[in-house]
Every structure is written in C-alpha cells, then in structure tokens.
Structure 1
Amino acid sequence: MPCTTFAQQTPATTGSGAPAVTSSVSASAPNIAWYYGDKPPVAQLRAFDAVVVEPDHGFDPSQFKTPKTQWYAYVSVGEVTPERSWYKELPKAWLLGRNAAWASRVVDQAQPEWPAFYVEHVIKPLWDKGYRGFFLDTLDSYQLVAKDDASRAAQEAGMVRVIRAIKARYPDAKLIFNRGFEILPQVHDQAYAVAFESLYRGWDQGSKQYKDVSDADREWLMGHVRQIRDDYHLPVIAIDYCPPTDRACARETAKRIKAQGVVPYVTDPDLSTIGVGRIEVLPRKVLILQDRDPRTTIDTSEGVRFVATPLNFLGYDVEYADINKPLPASVPPDRYAGVVVWVNTSPIKQVAALSSWVRQRIHDGVHIAFLNQFGLPVDGSMADMFKLQLVRGRANGPLSVVSQDKMMGFEMAPQPERREAQPIKVSANGQSLLRLKSGNFEFDAAAITDWGGYVLNPYAVFSMDTVEQARWVVQPIEFLRRALALPDMPIPDVTSENGRRLMLVHVDGDGFASRAEFPGPEYSGEVLLQDVWEKYRIPTTLSVIEGEVGASGLYPKLTPRLEAIARQMFALPYVELGTHTYSHPFDWSRTVPGAAADRAKEGPGADKGGGDTAFTLSIPGYKFSLDREIAGSINYINERLAPPGKRVKVLQWSGDCQPPEIAVRMAWDAGVLNMNGGDTTITRSSPSWTEIAPLGIDKGPGAYQVFAPNQNENVYTNDWTGPFYGFDRLIETLQLTDTPYRFKPINIYYHMYSGTKLASLKALKKVYDYALSQPVFPIYSTEYVVKVLDFRNMAIAREVGDDNTWVVRGDGDLRELRWMAHGTPRLADAQGVVGYDKAAGGIYIHLDDGAARFTLAPEAEPAKPAYIAEAAAFVRNFARNGNELSFEAGGYYKPFVRLANAGACRVKVNGNPARTARAQDNTVRVDLTGAAAQTVTYQRIDVVC
C-alpha cells in the first residue's frame, strides 16, 4: 500500500503568518527512495543511500552487495491487512475499525501486549532477514477511530511504547516515521528521519486521482517541517506523486520540494517505479527488438553484431526481444533509455500487436529508433502514429541525393536503391538525415523525430556479400544518441583504469597435446612455457581441455607427461586457472536438450578428427553431458592440476563460442566466471565498426556471457590454414579499437597450438612486444570479466536541479568513467574521485572504489589541487585533506603513479621519501615495486603540497 491511509488533515489554523522555507536541502541529507513493487531494481536503486521496500514481496537484503545503500522494510503500525503474515496471530479483539480505501483494519495501539507482539511478530522476522531499518507507516491511522482527546491520547501513548520497544530490542535499528507529528515530541530521539506525503502533488486513493496540494495544506506541513528540521535536527522527506511515465512531472516536482529545504521523493501512487529524489537515476537499459532467423543463434543476429556495440560505448546495457513472439508487456521510462527495432522483413506477421506496442511506447515517452525496416505497412495509420507525411508516387528511375546530414556516409557513401524507397517524409517535428528523389518523387530514407528516428535499408548497414563484409552508412553512435535522446553522462568504461588501457591475456587449451614442429621442447605447452610465459611475466589466464590431457580422454598414454606440464604452468605465480571444457564442443546449439537426436543421426564418424564441422572431440566411450563439460572439467583441474591455493576461476567457451542459455547458467551455478565469443576482427582491410563485438550477451536470467575483447589467432590465420604469422595483424585490431574511440582493452587471446610453429610463435612474441610498448595496465582476464558485470549494474544518477553533479555507484570492480562533453571533475569537493586524464574518446575519470559524487566544472577552473593523472596500478583508500593526499597503490607489472599539479609536492612511499621523476608539465612520477601474483601488494603513498 502507499504510505498513508487517508487524506491529509489540516487544522483550521494554518499558521500562514510563518515565513516560507526557501533554503535548499543540506548536502549531507540522505537520498532515500521508496519501492514497493516486485523484484526491486537493485542496480538503479543502489544510487540512493536508503531504499524502503515491501518485504512481503520476498526481497532479501543479504543477497545483494550494496555497501553504500541500506535496505529498509516497510512496516505498518496503525493498520493491518489480512494478507500480512502476522495477521492470523493477531488477537481480533485488537481490531478497532476499518479503512475502506485500503481494505485494512485499524489496530488498537492501547492494548498493553501490543508493543511486545509487534516487535516479536513484525520486526524480529525482518531483522533476522537482514533488515536494519524500518519505515513505520500508518502512524496516524488511529484518528479514524479515536474521536475524543482521551482516546487519541491513549492511542498515541501506545504508539510511543511500540517505538520504544523496537529500539529497546534493536538499539541499532534506524526508524523512518511516516508523519506521526503528534508523538514526535516524545520519540524524536528514536527517529532517523521523518517522511510525509504530498507537499505539492498528492494522490487520492478513494477517487483514484492526482491532486494538487493547496497552499494552506502546504503551509501547515511546512510548519511541522521547520520544527522537525530546526528543533529535532532530523532529515525530512516529502513523498509526492506523478503518473509513472511522466518523468518531467517528477523532475519538476522534486525541484520544487528541494527548494523548500525538504528531501524530495516523487514516484507513482503504487510506489513501483524508480522515483526522482535528490537525485534522478538515469536509465541504462536499451531494448533491442528484432526479427532474427529462428534457425540461427541470437549471437549472429543484427542486434548483437551491429547495434549493441555503439550502445555499450554510449554506456548502455542491452536486452533483446523477438518481434515475432509476445512483446514485452512493459518498457518503463524509469528503467529503459529507449528501444531499437531492427527488422529485416516488413511488414511482420503480427502487425497489429507491433503497432499497438509502438504506440504505447511513444505515449510513455520511450524513444524508438528503427533500423532497416519499420516492420509495419507504410500507410496512413503508420504515418499518423509517427507524424510522418505520406507522399504520392513511386521511384520509377534512378535515385539521387537531395540532402544528407553529416552523420550519413560514415564508412561508405549511401548507395541509393529505388526498390527500397518508402513514400514518407518528415513533418515539422523531424529532421531529415537523408532525402532522396526520383523525378518528382522525394522521400526521407533517414530522419530524427520527436519520438525517436529511423534509418531505412540500405542506409544503416550496407552488406557487401561478395567479400563478406559490411559497412555502417550512418554514424551509429551519433544516430542512436540523437534518436534515443540520450543525455550526456559519465560512462562506465571497461577498457581502462586510472587512465591506462587495460591489457589481458588468456589462452584456450586447444593443441596442448600437439608436438612442436621445430627442435626444442616436445609439446606446444612446453614451448609456450619456456618462450612466452616465463619471459612475459604478466597476469595470464591458462586453460586445458580435459579430454586432451586427462586419462579419460584422447591420449591416456600421454597423460602423465601432459599433466606434469599443466601443473608446471598452473604453478606460475602470475597464472590464473581456466577450463576449456571436457570434450571441446564445437557447435554449442547441439548441446541443448533435444539436440541429442540430431547428433545421433550423424553417427560416430561425424566426430572424427574434431574439426570445426564436428560436434566435439571424438573421445572413445564418451556420452555427451553438459555437467561433465562444465562442472566435471572444473573438478578435474582443481583436483588433479591446480597447485595449493588456486582454483579454476573461469570457463573459456570452446568451438563457435555460442553456448545456449542453459550452458551459461550452469557455468555460473558452478561458481566460475565465463568468457569468449564475440567477433572483434576489425583490420585495415576490413576497417568497419561492424567488426567490433559488444561486451557480451544476455541469454536469460542468470545467463550472461562475457565476450572476449579480441579474437584469437585461428581467425587471423584463416582457421589455422595459414599464413601462420597472421596473428601479428592483431596489432591492427588493437590500434583500430583505440582510436579515434577506445572500444576495447588490449587482449592477447590465443591457443596452445601457437607453440607448434615458428611462424606463429614469432607472431605471438611480436604481439606481446607491441602491447607492452603501449601505455597499458596488465590485469587478469577475470578482473576484466567482473568489470563487464559491474558495467551492467552500475548506477548513474544526476543531482536534481544541478545537471553538473553526479552520483555513481557500482560493485567496486569497475573504477573508470569516460566523460565525452565539456568540463573536468572539480576535485576539491569530489568524493571517490582520485583524478582524471585525457585519452581517446574523452576525459577518463578515475575512481577509488566504484562509488563517487562529483561536479563537472569548466576546464579553466583555477587552482586545481594535486591528483592522480595516470597509474599502472590499482588505487584504494584515497583521502584528500586540503593540499595533502594519501592512498595505497599496487600493480602486477611495472607499477607507477603519475601525479598532476604536484611539481612542488613532497612524496613518501611507505613513510620514506620517494625517488620521483619530475616533468616540465608539473607532473611527478613515482615508480613502485610490484610483480604479478595472485594478490596485489599495496604501498602507502603520502603527498604533501
């Protein structure tokens, strides 16, 4: 139920002579949200300091890592509904009356046993679940039944006893009161904060209508606000109501409340949307609706291949839906920044459903971008819905370009195709991006509108089938930014940390049993151990295929020798362990239940040789099992090959790297991370962003697959057919994914068989040498994986009334933001920001632990204090005290810290004066000691300026 149970009551005397409060909310006042819906969106709500939830919906606060956010349980004191778990235990003689608006019963607060009952049956079960705060609602409900002063006094005294009983049993419990103005003089010292409803906009439950609050009611409330704030020194929160899709109403109402010196929270009457408080959490989900071929996996769909990457770069996580299946019932604007529709066939089968669905999204204010086709008949109904003009005629001859925006012709010029001409033009509400004509027939093939925008085929992605390549005709980042009306925001960035481009190395186990084709060590693993891993002592993730190495696999006679090599490489201090499955499935679509019959039809000979057309390695007697592939191979490595203190951390997908939802979920259930897949293969000969894969793919609840940032040598050597030096072309990929925008970290990803040939080994060393010559920060692959997961869930919020101040909260694994607009962080009052630096694509802002609050100020801001401009190290426990800095730093490979504005500063490392390198640009470099290991050795740095 919403917070209160009856309409606001105002005494006859309003105290209108009191001065109006116009002060703004204190910066130390808490950000508090209320959310009573099912499955609270923790990723966004974590931006608030406290969130009140409905505990009866099953939310378990102990299951979520939100150190900056405390979860409060909604509890009703004055009323109870029969649905509450404790209702059946409540003596019915304690029920005094009814509240018809909410179908609830009013509880007699004067009953002597009521306080003990309430603590035992209501508070204790919630405390045991992990709640440490409680929102006490319906504190005024007694007024529905107590009609004289004596009755009211008895009820108020009973509520005071309840509150004191809670604090006596749980002294650390934080209590937020909903009103309770009459009892505050007696229990204000028990309260953490006081909330009330409807300072400007209210909701009448009886009439189901929104109502503006009168000046008299508002001034009466403000009288209580002044007393609570000035006499009791408690935060005061006003909960107001707007329609759930009217974010402008919520935003403007929150500004008005904040101007009164009250903490605002504006939400819908059901409290089931992410409201606007002192901060507004920006939605970071985009839904891609597409008509993919059911015979293919989602991995190869256009939404994954083309659309997700620019959206990731802009800071958005992607969800997918099939346009030919039931469409998502709700795409609320508090969660979703927009919708992208990619349709290959138009019109689709369920035209009516799509038309109604799109109309609802436009009504809700969720912007939509259409790519390729609309999926709807281009007729009067569609034109009216999209506010487009239907034009007469048709393209009977060649098309010519009348006008085009600068975002068109990005990777190739538009190739007009009259067979794709659609008879539409934008109206006054839109801007044409590409206008074409044939005779007197003119139409807009691409446009920006007030509801979103569109780019029709072939002006989004042009497919060059003869060379198996594609090109963006429209600049996708700019088009999606404008069509979806995406705001400037600090973008969580997984490519960098502390200004340095991240570098990770991971190796799939294929070919571990292969022999080298040149004199020296016998097996490929031995070659790589001696020539690569012992030379390049950087964080590295190594894996094996159990079916190649173990005694139950292909080569049991070689097992003793191969296992010895594996143990030796796994024992290296800078190596973490992965599994590359048991039998190396090649076609993961055939691993799902129901595919066994298809495999049986092919007969045992289909697996011989284990080539890319096979299902798995041909292991004698093996009956395929997903559990054996995943949990079984993990257990084998942990029990047979792992040194003490190490365990498998990641599953590296094999074959086509397109595992089904069930397999991905099984990997998570096995307690390991997962990666591989994605096809980032952009090179000078195919220099297109269509060749850059997204961060990963959500295949269902608990089934997110993280893609490898770059592809392996198999791709660069034409499926290992040659040239075997081809992997050195990875350098082109690394360069093209760094400028003009940094899309990816550096990832050296290869197989064990790279150690079998001199050409491939030489190419591998060339790639290593190039990567380590760049300004990189080497980390483990699993440290990258958790950054991607943190990217998905990081909350980005903007201060209401101050578009330049931001609140950012994540898990602490992702510690870099990218800012692509004007300004730099104002460091003097920033929290959680250790510094910043300019790099490809904007300003890179460095965080301490993944949580920050900062203001972006003009770059010409004078007297900037010292800060960390760059570090090949992790930074933690950062503190600023005037002109002094202190923090801890440590890294795996040649760690250092470069301080800006520090030319006149003294630096100590672990209490001793540091040897520094001072530059003419007023920066100071401090080199640290460090070596790659399973944990980081941190050193304390003190800076006095």
Structure 2
Amino acid sequence: MKRLFKAAALALGLLLPGMAPSVLAAGSPTTAATAQQTVPRTILALVDLREESTIRLSRIHTMVELPLNHLGLSVVYWNVADGLPDLSRYPDLRGIVTWFAGDPFTDVGAYIAWAGRAMDRGVRFAVLGQSGVRLERGGKPVPLAVANRFFARFGLRDDDGYSDLTYKSRPILADGMIGFERPLSGVLPGYPLFRKADERFASHLVMRRGDDPASDSHLVVTGPSGGLVTDGYGRYFDAEYNRRQWIVDPFAFFRDSFATDDLPKPDVTTLSGRRLYFSHIDGDGWRNVTEVAPYANRRVLSADMVRTAAIEPFPELPVSVAPIVGDLDPTWKGTPESLQAAKKLFALPQVEPSSHTWTHPFQWSFFKDYNRQNEAPFLNRDSGYRPGKPDDHAAEEAGEVSDIGRYAVPRAYLQQPFDLDQEIGGALDYFTRLAPAGKRAVLVQWSGDTSPFEAALAAVRKAGGVNINGGDARFDADFPSITGLPPIGLPVGAERQIYAAGSNENTYTELWTGRFYGYRNLINTMRHAGSPIRLKPFNVYYHMYSGQKAASLNALVSVLTAARGQELAPVAASTYARIAEGFYTTRFEPLAGGSDGGRRWRVLDRGALNTLRFDNASASAVDFARSSGVLGQRHSQGSLYVALDPAVAEPVVALTATARADRDPPAALPYLIQGRWAFSALAAQGQGFRVAATGYGDGSMVWHVPRPGRWTVTAERDGTRLWSGSADADADGRLALTVPVSAIAPLLLRLRPTDDTAG
C-alpha cells in the first residue's frame, strides 16, 4: 500500500515525508529511433536577433507560441544571423514558422532552396509578416522568378503589383479566419498582388481594388505545405497604447498550417477533468508593517496579515509561499518576527514552502558574468531598497529608474558577494530546514525582472528543484487580446523557464504606485483565459506587500473568494511547474488497432503531465477497451479531455466515434468524469474499484460506473479507515459524491456496489 502511495505521489509531482522530488529536465534524452517513430510536435522558429534583441521579446514568442502550445506544439528557436540550421538536429520537426520585419538573408536563393528541401520532406511552413525573399540583406532586390519559387510553395504567384493606396480596396472574401480580435477596418495597409496559382490552397482573405477582378490579391492562404499571412494583415498594432490584436485567428491559421487536427494535445490547464488551480506568493514586502486597521497599531507584518486574512480562511486553496532568505535570516536583515512569520506559514497544511532566492536579484543579467567590483558603486545604496523605517521592508522599487535600468540596485541585499549556489540551492535548503518535517522547498520563484540566465536555471535543476515566474499574463479590458497571455515557458539555452499563468498585482497597480484595488481585475483575466477556450490554469500570484494596504488585501480576498466558487482542481505551484515541464517532453507513438481509423497512441516521457486534449472532438470518445492507463474522460468546450493514470508510465489512448458528447460513453470498467482531487492507480476490486487520491479541500468527484444504484465509499490511509459513506449512481451510471476527508496526505478510496459483499 505504501508503495502504491509513493508511486502515485511521485507521478503526481507531490512529495511525501522523506521523499526526494521527481524531476524531469526539459532536455530529457529520447533515442533517435523513438523520436522518428513518434508524432512530430516541434516547431522551429526562425528569428533574426539583429532586429529583435531577445527571443523573450520576439514576435513569435510573445504572439505565436501561445497558440502553438495550445495546439500541442513545442517551439524551439534559431537565430538566422548564424546561418541556416541543419534540420537533422530536429528529428521530430513538424514545421517552421517565420515572422520577419526586415530582410535577414544575404543569400535569398540559398534560403529558398533550403526551405524547398524542408517542404519536400514534409516540413510545413507558416510565414507571417515579411517573407524574407523579396530583398537580400542590404536592400538588393531579388529577381521575381527566384522569389516566386518560394511563393509557389503556398499556391501563389507574385505579379509584381502593389496596392499602395488602399482606400478603394475591399475584401471580396474574408472567411471565419479573419476578424478574430479586430475586424479589417480603417485605413488598410498596402499589399502585393498575389495571384492564386494552386487550387489545393484555401484562400481566407482576398482583396480587390475597386470592381476590377484582375486586381484580386490572395493575402491569407493555407494548404498542403503550410500557410502565409501577408504583412499587415495578421495583426493590428496600436503604437500609442502598445496594444496588439490578432486580425487572423491564430488557432485556425496554425491548425491548418501545421495540420494539428490529428495530434493529441498535452494539456497543462486541466487535471481530473477540471480547470487546474494554483497560487504562489513572492516574499517582497514580507517585513512591511500593514496599514490595515486595527492591525497597524500592533505593527503586524504584511506576511502575518496575508496569513490571517488570505491563507488561513481558505484551507482548501493551496499556496506556495516563497520568502527571501535575507528577510528572515538574522545574519542578514531578518528579525525574530519575520522568521516566526515564515514558520507559522510553513506549518499550515495548505502551504508549500518555496524560495524567492537568498538576496533577491532585481536584474538577473547583471549576475551572468558576476564580478564583485561591478557592485561597488551600489554598496552605499543598499538602503535604497527599503524606504523609511528599517522595519518597513519595501516592495520592489520598480518605479525608480537608475543606471542599471528600472531598479536602483542590482539586488536587494549586497553585503556579501553574489553566490549562485547559495542563491538557488542554498535558499531551497534554508527554507526546507525552516519548514516542518516532511515538507521540502523545491520551487524557485524568480525575482526582479524574472529573466534568469541559463546557469541560474541549470542551478535549479541541479538542486532538484523546479522554477516559475515571468510572463505577466493579462487578458482583460486593459489588455483585450490573447497576445497578453504568455506561452507555457521560454527556452533559455539548454534550459527552460516556466512562466506563471497569471500576472501579479504589480501590473494591476502601476508597479505598486496606485490603484491598489486593481488586482481584483485578475478575475477577468482568469475568466477570459478559461472560456471560450481554456488557455491557462487559474493562477493567483501576488506579493506579500498585498497585505500592506486595505484595498490590496480586499482585492486579494475577492479573487480567492471567486476561485472558491468555481469548479477547480487545486495543486501546489511546484506541481504545476512539473506539469508544464512535462508538456515539452511528451511524445506520442502512433499504434495500430484503434477501432476508429487507427486513432490510438502510446504516450511517452510525459513526466507529471496527466491530461491530453483532443479538439473538435464532440463526436469522439475514449475507447476504453483498447486503451490502458486512462483514468477517464470529459467533454468541454467542444474538446475531449482525457485523464491519464500517473501510476502508468506509458498509457495507451484510443478514440472511437460517439453519437452524443452530452452522454458519457459506456464502458465495462468505471472511469473518472471529473474531480477536485488528483487520482492514481485505478484498479478493479470485486464489482467495484479502488483508487489513490491526493488534493485540497473536500473531494467532490463524479465517476461513470457500469451499475446504477447505491454504492458504498470508504477512505483510508495506511490501512486505517477514516470515513465511510454512500452515494447513488443514476440510470446513466453517473456516480457523484463528496469525500469530506483531507487528502493532502494521500488517501485510498474504495468504491463498490452496496450489495457487493465481496468488495
């Protein structure tokens, strides 16, 4: 039994006393043979870092990668300033995406030939913005016959015409792919004259000048080799407000360009059929004295204020709390009060100890090639991080512009030289020692500009940890576009940073300078990021200084209250980070023997990721007879979410046709429809079944069982029965119940028909 619990907890990314974390690095090796046999999921993004300074800020990363992730695709990057890549380095390559603003190639002919060879072997291209084939770098025109060899791959021919003045132009065809977030309106950009030359390609936007059919230009097309969006017609950009909106539906465009309909999607938003929830707190403002009456008169710390107002009243909502060692350790700037605040927080069952580093670096690049002498000019400005009274530890002084950018000092505490091992592994060990026995700090929550360099990310992995932060996800009236939502993570050299799924209160309060109530707007971001397409988990991410102001604390409580009222599956933030890592490592091996067109796959190398999604799947269901290691299924938003059993390393998922998505498909064995907890090791037992469970709050769940009528349910731990009850399965076999027992430590549930005496 203990072995079952340990296997389940490791697979779920949860820790039991005395257990080391299960860490799967983003670069986990896969044999070349396996990679060649699996469904290709990699998209190679060609970027020109001479025009875009970093991948982090590139158009593809900030706009394209999120839709590609949602479609189940993982993105890797190549800087074309270094030449053209050797595609043999990418054995699971599905496609290539470009979004150039200029002319990156000195030899356009070589690029066109390289792209042609890639397409000939089945690699699909998605081209947005400038194609990169009209001019060579430096402005030399490319012969039209050469450029047309490239455009012909997209069913087009450039007739060397151009509509500069577009006041007479109008779309004669704009299908459902056009006008996703912003319609074609106002003064339209100029466009080239693209003739349709291959009927295998579908046109989604065709412009005509006046009433002349000879002027028709096909500006958005998709087809057998990919898709092309003419510059100016993919997105709208408002320079005054720095606002971007999609004109083209990126989900539809990339779905057609990369033919993803047959691809199972590893999904990081969902667990046990429910939207996933996690919360994490950065330690900034830990020692601030709250202004909330009547606690201000007692000089209560913001960390204690958050605990009493926003953590203890919500025991069913887990939260990962990440202090800064410098705020706690008395050899730095810690006090008995700040240290005690951490111990009280870590003692709460729903709190996961995490790390916001040792000295709180503000600008991580400053420490990439660290030299203590570079910090010398800032040593006498250490107090700049803490305004006023020495016990009023400040939030990030993000509004203060100085000689290293947006921060006055490179890190909060400078009295000792920077030590990367201390900053990462040392801080994790410090918080583990501070936590009760059985709890271990494994999550590093990036500080400052949340832009760690490769060695910092590697230090987390080497310390047995996982990482999170960055991304600043917003999707609300101020940021009315999915472009405000980041992808799952960012490749940094050979490592990977995992982004938070929601923005903290800094972006809602103008860097903590006003509108301290603004964080309640997170509810709108979470609503839009969850419907009509579930793009992100529900993430409540904030700083300890939210406990300083009455307005910010009230906003935080309103967000938590809203989360409490939704159907969610809460997990610790470190669990989400491991799930996100699993997105990049997951592989699918196609198998024969499916009952519906061969739709059957073995799932490999998924780490802690335990949900697959199939889109446009209202007429599909899991074929449980030909599947193994599948916990259950649920239809939602036109997609089929499939829950995998963490105890099965290589599950097999088979799909079959179903007549109705609003009816659970019949199956000989019970399966999960949805639940608040995470489940593992599902097995038949007599006429019923048993399953391990972990989670937060009461365990509400719905199962499909083969027998209607009354069922008996028991919950036990280590052989001791903790609860017993019963519930009725309706005529369709739906068994809804709630287990009112804490499952933070794993439980074993046994469910059997009440008349089954052998169970």
- TM-score w.r.t. the length of structure 1 is 0.67
Is residue 393 from structure 1 mapped to residue 185 from structure 2 by the alignment?
no
Distance 2:690 2:337 in 1: 51
Pair 757,634 (structure 1): closer, same or farther in 2 beyond 3 Å:
same
Letter of the aligned partner of 2:525 in structure 1?
Answer: T
Aligned partner letter, 1:364:
R
**Structure 1 residue identity aligned to 2:737:** V
Structure 2 residue 738 is the aligned partner of structure 1 residue 927:
yes
Cα distance in 1 for residues equivalent to 2:113 and 2:478: 44
Q: How does 1:438-449 map to 2 (within 5 A)?
A: 438=209, 441-449=215-223
| Aligned position for 2:10 | none
Residue identity in the other structure for 1:730: L
Pick aligned residue for 1:414 from 172, 176, 184:
184
* SS at structure 2 position matched to 1:784: helix
Q: Does 1:743 align with 2:535?
A: yes
Mapped partners of 2:52, 2:397: distance in 1: 22
Corresponding position of 2:600: 805
Corresponding residue for 1:576? 352
Residue 504 of structure 1 and its aligned partner are, at CA, apart by 0.7
**1:734 is paired with a residue of what secondary structure?**
helix
Matched ranges for 1:269-308 at <5 A:
274=34, 281-292=38-49, 296-308=53-65
Give the one of 260, 267, 281 matched to 1:493: 267
Structure 1 residue 550 and structure 2 residue 343: aligned?
Answer: no
Look up the match of 1:611.
Answer: 397
Partner of 2:19: none
Aligned partner of 1:528 in structure 2 is 306
**1:704 and 2:496 matched:** yes
Distance change >3 Å, CA 599–CA 323, structure 1 → 2: farther
Amino acid of the residue matched to residue 403 of structure 1? L
Tell me by how many angstroms 1:913 deviates: 6.5
Partner of 1:846: 643
- Which shows bigger deviation, 309-318 or 429-438? 429-438
The question of 1:328 aligning with 2:328 is answered no
Q: What does 1:657-806 align with in structure 2 at a 5 Å threshold?
A: 657-701=450-494, 703-800=495-592, 802-806=597-601
CA contact 1:547–1:619 (8 Å) conserved in 2? yes
Question: 1:286 & 1:920 partners in 2: Cα distance?
Answer: 46
Question: Are the equivalent residues in 1 in contact too, given 2:691–2:748 (CA < 8 A)?
Answer: no
State the secondary structure of the residue aligned to 1:690: helix
Instruction: Name the counterpart of 2:319.
Output: 540
* Partner SS state of residue 439, structure 2: coil
Question: What is the correspondence of 1:197-596 to structure 2 with a 5 Å cutoff?
Answer: 274=34, 281-292=38-49, 296-331=53-88, 334-346=91-103, 348-349=105-106, 351-377=108-134, 379-387=144-152, 388-398=156-166, 399-415=169-185, 420-428=190-198, 429-438=200-209, 441-518=215-292, 519-520=294-295, 522-537=300-315, 538-553=317-332, 555-556=333-334, 559-593=335-369
Secondary structure at the counterpart of residue 709 of structure 2: coil
| Structure 1 residue 490 displacement after superposition | 2.5
TM-score by length of 2: 0.82
| Match in the other structure for 2:403 | none
Residues 359 and 414 in structure 2, CA contact (< 8 A), matched pair in contact too: no
SS, match of residue 889 in structure 1: strand
Could you tell me how far 1:690 is from its partner in structure 2?
0.5
Residue number among 855, 874, 894 corresponding to 2:654 in the alignment:
855
User: 8 Å contact 2:471–2:500 — kept in the other structure?
Assistant: yes
1:655 aligns with 2:441: no
CA distance in 1, matches of 2:379, 2:147: 52
One-letter identity of the residue aligned with 2:181: E
2: CA distance between counterparts of 1:497 and 1:406? 31
Give 1:454 shift.
1.0
Distance 1:444 1:606 in 2: 60
Distance 2:49 2:472 in 1: 18
Question: Any idea what SS the aligned residue of 1:422 has?
Answer: strand
Deviations 1:389-424 (A, max 9, x none): 121433242232232222011111135877642233
Q: Report SS of the residue matched to 1:914.
A: strand
Deviates more, 1:476-485 or 1:566-575: 566-575
Aligned twin of 2:390: none
Measure how far apart 1:463 and its partner are. Answer: 1.2
Counterparts in 2 of 1:625 and 1:943: CA distance versus 1, 3 Å: same
Letter in 1 for 2:608: D
Query: How far 1:783 moved relative to its partner?
Result: 0.8
When residues 596 and 936 of structure 1 are mapped into structure 2, their CA distance, relative to the original with a 3 A threshold, is: same
Counterpart-to-counterpart distance in 2, 1:415 and 1:436: 13
Q: Secondary structure at the match of 2:413?
A: coil
Amino acid at match of 1:540: V
Q: CA deviation at 1:657?
A: 0.9
Q: State the alpha-carbon separation in 2 of the partners of residues 552 and 514 from structure 1.
A: 19
Kept in 1: contact 2:620–2:657 (CA 8 A):
yes
Q: For residue 376 of structure 1, report the CA deviation from its aligned partner.
A: 1.6
Pairwise mapping of residues 633-648 of structure 1 onto structure 2 (< 5 A)?
A: 633-639=427-433, 641-648=434-441
Partner residue in 2 for 1:818: 613
What does 1:868-879 align with in structure 2 at a 5 Å threshold? 868-879=672-683
Structure 1 contact 725–763 (Cα < 8 Å) conserved: yes
Distance 1:807 1:942 in 2: 30
Partner Cα separation in structure 1 for residue 343 and residue 412 of structure 2? 25
C-alpha displacement at 1:675, in angstroms? 0.4
Alpha-carbon distance in 1 for matches of 2:363, 2:196: 46
- One-letter amino acid of the structure 1 residue matched with residue 553 of structure 2: L
Residues 1:628 and 1:899: Cα distance change in structure 2 (over 3 Å): closer
Contact 2:709 2:729 in 1 (8 A): no
SS at match of 1:467: coil
Aligned equivalents of 1:275, 1:920: Cα separation in 2: 45
2:450 alignment partner, SS class:
coil
* Structure 1 position 940, deviation (Å): 2.9
Q: Tell whether the 8 Å contact from 1:581 to 1:630 is kept in structure 2 after alignment.
A: yes
1:111-143 deviation per Cα after TM superposition (whole angstroms, max 9, x unaligned): xxxxxxxxxxxxxxxxxxxxxxxxxxxxxxxxx
If asked which structure has higher relative contact order (CA below 8 Å, sep 6+), I would say: 2
Specify the code of the residue in structure 1 equivalent to 2:497: Q
Give the unaligned 5+ runs of structure 2: 1-21, 135-141, 386-395, 399-405, 716-720
Amino acid in structure 2 at the alignment position of 1:318: V
Q: Which moved more, 1:602-611 or 1:474-483?
A: 602-611
Instruction: Please report how far the alpha carbon of residue 932 of structure 1 lies from its aligned counterpart in structure 2 after TM superposition.
Output: 5.9
Choose the corresponding residue for 1:903, options 708, 722, 747: 708
RMSD between aligned residues: 3.1
SS in 2 for 1:412: coil
Please list the CA deviations of residues 734-775 of structure 1 after superposition, one character each: whole Å capped at 9, or x if unmatched: 110111111111111110001111111111111111101101
User: Does 1:833 pair with 2:630?
Assistant: yes
Q: Residue 247 of structure 1 corresponds to which residue in structure 2?
A: none
Larger-gyration structure (1/2): 1
Residues 890 and 930 in structure 1, CA contact (< 8 A), matched pair in contact too: no
Report the Cα distance in structure 2 between the residues aligned to 1:594 and 1:888, rounded to whole angstroms: 48
- Name the aligned partner's letter for residue 791 of structure 1: F
Q: 1:808 to 1:619 in 2, by over 3 A?
A: closer
Q: Amino acid of the residue matched to residue 281 of structure 1?
A: T
Equivalent pair of 1:742/1:841 in contact (CA under 8 Å) = no
Aligned to 2:425: 631
